[in-house]
Amino acid sequence: MFWITFSTTHRVTRPTHHESPQTDSLALCSSATGAPQIDKTGWVVSLQTRMTGWKSRIAGWFIDREFFMRANGQVRFLKISAQLQRRVAITAAVVVGTWLVVTLGMAVNQMSVFAERMALSEKEAKIESAEERVASYRGSIDEVTKDLEQRQKMLESLSDQYLDELPIETEATQPTDADDKAVKTISALVPEAAGLARIEARQIRFAEIMTRVALVRTKKAEAAIREFGLNPDVLARQASSAQGGPFESFFGGSKKEVRDPRFTKLAASLGRMDAMERALAAIPTSMPAAVMLMSSGFGYRADPFTGGGAMHAGLDFKGPIGTSILAAAEGRITFAGSQGGYGNTIEITHANGLLTRYAHLSSFNVSLGQKVERGVQIGRMGSTGRSTGSHLHFEVRLNGQAINPRKFLEANSDVLEIQAIAGGRTDDPAGRKFAKR
């Protein structure tokens, strides 16, 4: 048999307060000199009192601790003094503090080095770009002309596809000092290419404007997605997890392609904006039924059959049999049939792992694999499956996990407006015109 008995010996010396001659002299001095000295003396006494209280508390943490251990009829005595405990605590605090300071210093140093590398890399890229531009102009004027024409078509196509209408910025479209210097260098070395160099400088500046607009729209889409309680970065990773195709140069087809970093940034910005706006457009925010009466919410509820506590993974909308059931967002029908307690069920798979489920239907208006648009009728309300009456059971799932659909259906008008713009751009041209009106 083995027992451990624990006891503590708590020795705390409480300070006794008494007035000393020094205190009396301070009091006399304060009465002679006026109120400011009284306030100062009171503040000092208050601070001393607080310090004494903290010292007493800390002293109460470190007390003599005694352990009595009994095994096989023998008793052993072990004592851990308060002084030893204080030493261990101070040592641990010093070690942890040192580790935190070193870790913070390393993090700051890494951030500083990363920022310097990024600035140096951008500067080197610009220098390399200017040198390559001069070399390209020297090599073949005809080849550079073809590349610039192809680049111009690509910029116009990107503008129409992603940004519709750009803000008119007369001064912003003018070349910067660095671009103007490159134009002068090319004009001096290759006089016949001066006109082409100016065209290229304007293209680069136009790409910078497009990048700035894309970043603004990306931030708006990300903020709107967060309003729905979703993580934009997670949705972006899911959107980019299924891509492929042969490599084709984005700008120019020459062997010595101009690698200006501003075009690379433009491509990345447009890609991010496209992913965010497609993710936002796929969020199911339209009412799934032509009724507004909600008969059961998301989460815990009393089971309608047994009365016991149960988890309700969606929302119930009450209505007469035959009420129209509508797609909450565009997507593809991935299930249409009977599904146990759900009864007749339709499932629509949307972008980025989102799925909506419509249960207890009386009939279907769609078939498996069919693509549907937001607001299109997909079925009719019923009471099939485990149901007590005619209603729609509506679910929203993200990567298989049920989430509350209410935050999607009750979004404010500002968020819905941003979603409508994003949906108009990601749809066909007809849908884009509809979103603009």
Spell out the residues 6+ positions from residue 74 whose beta carbon is closer than 8 angstroms to its own.
none
**Summary mean pLDDT of the chain:** 75
369 and 308 share one domain: yes
Domain at 342, CATH number: 2.70.70.10
Q: What are phi and psi of 403, to 5 degrees?
A: -130, 160
Lowest model confidence (mean pLDDT) among 188-202, 257-271, 405-419: 188-202
Per-residue model confidence as pLDDT tens digits over 239-259: 655 565 565 555 555 444 545
Listed ranges 1-15, 29-43, 271-285; the one with the highest mean pLDDT: 271-285
State both tokens at 93: 């605090």
The arithmetic mean of pLDDT across residues 268-275, rounded, is: 87
Closest CA to 255 of 143, 175, 355, 164: 143
User: Are 129 and 277 within one domain?
Assistant: yes
Give residue-wise pLDDT tens across range 193-236.
Answer: 555 666 777 777 888 888 888 899 899 999 999 888 888 888 77
Least confident of 28-37, 63-72, 77-86, 377-386: 28-37
Whether 267 maps to a domain, the answer reads yes
Rg (CA), the chain: 36
State the average pLDDT over residues 386-404.
94
Report DSSP letters for 362-409, one per residue: EEES--TT-EE-TT-EEEEEB--SS-SSSEEEEEEEETTEEE-THHHH
Q: Is residue 420 part of a domain?
A: no
| Domain assignment present for 313 | yes
Q: Are both 270 and 322 inside the same structural domain? A: no
Residues 339, 196 share a domain: no
Both 277 and 340 in a single domain?
A: no
Q: Which residue has the higher pLDDT, 45 or 7?
A: 45
Nearest in space to 421 (alpha carbons), one of 236, 277, 271: 277
Q: Are residues 263 and 364 in the same domain?
A: no
Token output for 267: 């491509």
Q: Do 277 and 130 reside in the same domain of the chain?
A: yes
**What is the greatest pairwise CA distance in the chain?**
106
In a domain, 62, yes or no: no
Q: Note the pLDDT tens digit of each residue in 358-369.
A: 999 999 999 999
> In this model, does residue 411 exceed pLDDT 50?
yes
Residue 397 binned pLDDT confidence (cut-offs 50, 70, 90) = very high
Q: Examine the pLDDT at 135 and tell me if it is beyond 60.
A: no
Distance CA 188, CA 352 (A): 52
Flag whether 390 is in a domain: yes
- Tell me, yes or no, whether 142 lies in a domain: yes
Q: Do 329 and 187 fall within a single domain?
A: no
Q: Does residue 337 sit within a domain?
A: yes
In the chain, the amino acid numbered 263 is F
Same domain for 142 and 235, yes or no, is yes
Neighbours of 307 (CB within 10 A): 8
150 confidence band (pLDDT: 50, 70, 90) = confident
Write the pLDDT tens digit of every residue in 344-385: 999 999 987 899 999 999 999 999 999 999 999 999 999 999
Task: Enumerate the β-bridge partners of residue 70.
Answer: 3, 75
Query: Is residue 277 domain-shared with residue 315, that is, in the same domain?
Result: no
Domain limits at 131?
Answer: 125-240+258-281
Number of structural domains, the chain? 2
- Count of other CB atoms within 10 angstroms of residue 46: 10
Would you say residue 415 lies in a domain?
no
Residue 233 sits in the same domain as residue 302: no
Q: Rounded to whole angstroms, how far apart are CA atoms 397 and 313? A: 9
Most confident of 56-65, 158-167, 252-261, 329-338: 329-338
Shared domain check, 273 and 312: no
